[in-house]
Amino acid sequence: MQTIAITQGDPAGIGPEIVAKAFRDAPDDLRGCFAVGDLATLRRAAQCIVRPGVLELPVAQIVSPDDAWHVPPRCMPVLQLPGLPGPVPWGRVSAAAGRAAADCVVWAARAALQGHIAALVTAPLHKEALSAAGVAFPGHTELLQAEAATHQGVPLAAMPVRMMLASDELRTVLVSIHMSLRDAIAAVTRENIVQTLQITHAALLRTLGRVPRIAVAGLNPHAGEGGLFGREEIESIAPAVADARALGMDVHGPYAPDTVFMRARHTSQRAGEFDVVLAMYHDQGLIPVKYLGVDKGVNVTLGLPLVRTSPDHGTAFDIAGQGVADASSLIEAVRMARSLGPAT
């Protein structure tokens, strides 16, 4: 059985402490998982979550992923990567922290691509720190895309990926990810939308075991209102929906973006009309999922030859080191990774 690697994230943020909390509070879910990072940083994180009446979390250094199976519950196995800095000041952007976070992701990605681990779960990193470290990618998704393309010996364009945000109530997939709103609008093309629908369809077909029902959000208010408020729906989005349906996908829209997410929402009282909503840009798709509960949202990268999930929040520099950060989304990300990966 293979293990799951959990990267420490930016060591100046809440990543290390939510990793520690997950091992302490969800031992059954974290069975067969290990942290990738700096031993001293993760020991500091274990110390910062100590509270009266709560047992201290032991930390055990391991030398290979399979060693995680031999660590007892409520103990955090840590695989120390060479060259990482020790603990850095909490809540501060630094090149050292950005480089450490990136190095952990690269190690875990390569381990997954080489078949040494079942999946990776990434704790939050800080995009400004990544940039300060000279990392050429704005976030996890793009970094993982580059690693996967290099591993398979294909150009970056041949490894298209998309971001899915998922909770037990709503799934959304984004046509574009980390770019300015102006550039995101320019990315709303027929080709990009069809490609996103193909990636979404293939991923959810595997997950659900059936053809997913996909809703497509419009870009403009009221989905353009027949061209009165913009022509993207007429010229790009509706033709892409027609193309996808011709390819056998169960795709519908474009729908008004202010209502389609409510129609897709699954609750205990009613099933949603759709399995997933295709959003035209980052905030359009992330706001609804996060509003329903940031503690339950999980980020899943679609289109990669590996399983990668992450919590649906950032580094929270303002509360880092206080031991108050909520590990719920990270625990959900581990559960999601386990459900998507090979047997662990």
Structural domains of the chain sorted by starting position, each given as residue range(s) with its CATH number in brackets: 4-157+305-340 (3.40.718.10), 162-287 (3.40.718.10)
Ramachandran assignment for 153, one of left (phi > 0), alpha (psi -120 to 50 degrees), beta (any other): left
Confidence of residue 312 (pLDDT cuts 50, 70, 90): confident
Residue 78 pairs with which residues in a beta bridge?
35, 61
* More confident position, 195 or 53: 195
**Above 80 in pLDDT, residue 341?**
no
- Please check whether residue 117 is in contact with residue 5, taking contact to mean a CB–CB distance below 8 angstroms: yes
The predicted pLDDT at position 177 comes to 85
- Enumerate residues 6+ apart whose C-beta is below 8 A from 115: 2
- Enumerate residues 6+ apart whose C-beta is below 8 A from 254: 216, 217, 218, 219, 223, 224, 233, 237, 238, 241
| Mutual angle of helices 190-208 and 238-246, in 10-degree steps | 50
**Above 80 in pLDDT, residue 90?**
yes
* More confident position, 167 or 250: 250
Confidence of residue 297 (pLDDT cuts 50, 70, 90): confident
Block residue for tokens 């093309």: 189
**Above 50 in pLDDT, residue 204?**
yes
Block residue for tokens 């995680």: 68
Distance CA(3)–CA(272), nearest Å, equals 34
The predicted pLDDT at position 80 comes to 97
Q: What letter represents residue 128's amino acid?
A: E
- Please check whether residue 227 is in contact with residue 206, taking contact to mean a CB–CB distance below 8 angstroms: no
What pLDDT digit, counting tens, does each position of 205-263 carry? Answer: 988 999 999 999 999 999 999 999 999 999 999 999 999 999 999 999 999 999 999 99
The predicted pLDDT at position 1 comes to 78
The predicted pLDDT at position 138 comes to 85
Q: What letter represents residue 178's amino acid?
A: H
**Above 80 in pLDDT, residue 294?**
no
Phi (first) and psi of residue 121, to 5 degrees: -115, 125
